Amino acid sequence: MRRTCLIGLWRYSRHPNYFRQWMQWSSLILLSLPVPIDRWPHHHIVFGLLTALALAWISWTTYHMLVHCTGAVPAEYFSRQRRPDYIRYQRVTNRFSPGLRRTTHQ
């Protein structure tokens, strides 16, 4: 019988690998911020605002793709079919960001 992994980060997040990937891309965005901030005095403020909005949009889009389109939702669809204990795991474990496990009333 196939069972769900509850060891390590999988105890706190159903998809810690996707969370790590999103954090990695978001970190690169944060590391790139000094460049537009340094250039703001030389350019119009609109350039800085558009750059900040674009970077925020990239982070949001990456999150959305990892959770809803290519990552978590499709993976969970197949996990529910293959692992009988996965539904309970979904009820007690956060989907994306690591956190404390919830209790179930059963």
Which two three-digit tokens encode residue 74?
Answer: 């499709």
Query: What is the pTM assigned to this prediction?
Result: 0.78
> What is the SS3 assignment for 13?
strand
Neighbours of 71 (CB within 10 A): 21
Residues in the chain: 106
**pLDDT (tens digit per residue) in 36-88:** 777 766 777 777 788 889 999 999 999 999 998 888 988 899 999 998 899 99
What is d(CA 42, CA 47) in angstroms, rounded to the nearest whole number? 10
